[in-house]
Structure 1
Amino acid sequence: MKLNDFLKKELLGNRFMAIKGYSEINDRETGQLSAYRLNVSIQDETSDFFMELIQIKVKNLNPSLGVKDLENNKSTPVILKDLNVGQFNGNIWFSCSDVLPAK
């Protein structure tokens, strides 16, 4: 069995809660905004990782659930569009293409 066998987004479930707001990720070379980081709690009770807090890199500079939408909220249910899980140098990373409000 290999590490990549555990890197399946399906293991995380489908229910996520954004905690607080976005933080900016700046490009190392230019110093300009390149993405956002969002802390997310896994809320799917069927997931082995229920109640874990993970950081998601949001690759969209204009996410559907905007920076202002999360600015004053402590927690908000969200949908992570195109969620990806991977590993680099022994660290697990999470990314998505957009953050949508859950209904």
Structure 2
Amino acid sequence: MKLNDFLKPELLGNKFFAVKGYSEVLDRETQKLVAYRINISIQQESSTFFLEMIQVKVNTTTPTISYEEMSKNKTREVILKDLNVGQFNGNLWFTCSDILPVVK
């Protein structure tokens, strides 16, 4: 068994809450906005990682749930579109292509 066998987003579940607002990710050279980061609480009770907090990089400068919308909410249930998990130098990283609202 290899480490990458554990780097599956399905293990986290699919019930997530965004906590507070986004933080900006700037290009190191140009200092221009390239993405956002947001803290996510895992709320899937059947997940081994239930109630863990992860930081997810949202790889767009125009997320569906806007920067302004997230700054008004302390927590909000969200969908992480195209969630990926990886590792580099012994650290886990999480990315998604967009953050979507949960429609009930």
TM-score greater than 0.5 by the shorter chain: yes
Q: TM-score, normalised by structure 1?
A: 0.97
- 1:14-39 per-position Cα deviation (integer Å, ceiling 9, x unaligned): 10000000000100111111110000
The residue identity in structure 2 corresponding to 1:18 is A
Q: TM-score, normalised by structure 2?
A: 0.97
The residue that corresponds to 2:86 in the other structure is 86
The residue that corresponds to 1:19 in the other structure is 19
Q: Secondary structure at the match of 1:56?
A: strand
Give the number of equivalent residue pairs: 103
The residue identity in structure 1 corresponding to 2:44 is D
The residue that corresponds to 1:64 in the other structure is 64
The residue that corresponds to 2:46 in the other structure is 46
Gaps of 5+ in 1: none
Taking only the aligned residue pairs, the percentage that are identical comes to: 63
Q: Secondary structure at the match of 1:4?
A: helix
> How far, CA to CA, are the matches of 1:70 and 1:57 in structure 2?
15
The residue that corresponds to 2:30 in the other structure is 30
Q: Secondary structure at the match of 1:5?
A: helix
> How far, CA to CA, are the matches of 1:102 and 1:19 in structure 2?
14
